[in-house]
Structure 1
């Protein structure tokens, strides 16, 4: 029957408390990012509506000026028409820029949705390294296919997010073949490691 020292048990409780504090901080950061996404979406919608109204106003002004240009010999009226065409080109460039920003915001939203899904579902990943301290240079927030998790007393770095154990085992084999001899498969849920899985 396994025996655990009281001091080790106290250390485990301390580590669990620390992990809960870290998880709460991460949840707060996710909430802040979600608020930022919502506010940027509102700003994008307001900007789009304002741009649409501006375009319609310019179009109305253009049509109004075109109606007034009944005499082509009037040079001043022709110059006004050229200014309006230049303004329309500038607006088209602005609309293209807004479309690109909209696509970038959609990618950010998809990233956070995928990250939320991964935290709620059980996933399998292949751990390739452990660190004593938090080496954040390896854990990029932009990489949704990696996990950087506190597994007391170490920080573990895992690659891949797989729905099935078989997929993770195949990926582990590929990593072992290229030199990661100590790689192993573990299951994770809600950002915590559940258990180390059978490697084969």
Structure 2
């Protein structure tokens, strides 16, 4: 076996001790770095988790808002549609009323033209000395107010046939117009007094 001197052995022990101290320090530094790395990793994971939750929350909130807005828009569109339908129905009703009024005006003018061109029959119910009678109106299509010298004759109903006029005369007599009689007219003038029966 070889021989080692004590000083050399002591130096060798010192070197080993130094190496052990350096190794322990290095191990301590590794442990410290590992703790540091774990802490940084945990912080990073927490930060990633919080960021992910934040992004998911924003996405959820945005989709909820969009859903609420689209449902509100659909409800608003539905309300607008209902309001529009009500407005359209009101417009249609208004147009129907106007159409009825125009039909009445058309009937009035057709009746006036008929009265002026054709021989018609009417039931005279009264005659007046003055033209100052408030019973007549141009809007009444079934009335005649004709000058028959020296009187103004007031007649009700305009009929194409004598039979229709005679039936109407009977109804007027039954309600109290006992002097009513049927007369024929053409071009706004009385032609003759007709047979009441």
**Distance in 2 (alpha carbons) for counterparts of 1:176 and 1:82:** 61
Shifted more, 136-145 versus 72-81: the winner is: 72-81
For 1:81, the equivalent position in structure 2 comes to 77
Q: Counterpart of 1:157?
A: 154
Partner SS for 2:68: coil
Deviations 1:102-147 (A, max 9, x none): 2322232122212222221101112111111124421133332221
Q: CA deviation at 1:90?
A: 5.0
Distance 2:115 2:128 in 1: 23
Match of 1:30 in 2: none
Among 127, 133, 158, the alignment partner of 2:124 is 127
C-alpha RMSD of the superposition:
2.8
Measure how far apart 1:76 and its partner are.
Answer: 10
Query: Following the alignment from structure 1 to structure 2, what is the Cα–Cα distance between the partners of residues 158 and 80?
Result: 60
TM-fit CA distance, 1:75: 6.5
Q: Of 68, 72, 96, which aligns to 2:67?
A: 72
| Corresponding position: 1:138 with 2:135 | yes
Aligned length: 130
- 1:151-190 map, 5 Å: 151-190=148-187
Task: Give the Cα–Cα distance (whole angstroms) in 1 for the partners of residues 72 and 169 of structure 2.
Answer: 73
Structure 1 residues 110 and 173: alpha-carbon distance in aligned structure 2, compared to 1, 3 A threshold = closer
Runs of at least 5 residues in structure 2 that lack an aligned partner in the other structure: 1-65
For structure 1, the 5+ residue unaligned runs are 1-70
User: Which structure is larger by alpha-carbon Rg, 1 or 2?
Assistant: 2
Q: 2:93 aligns with which of 96, 117, 133?
A: 96
Q: Distance in 2 between matches of 1:86 and 1:165?
A: 55
1:180 deviation in Å?
Answer: 2.6
In structure 2, the CA distance between the partners of 1:147 and 1:98, relative to structure 1 (3 Å rule), is same
Q: TM-score, normalised by structure 2?
A: 0.54
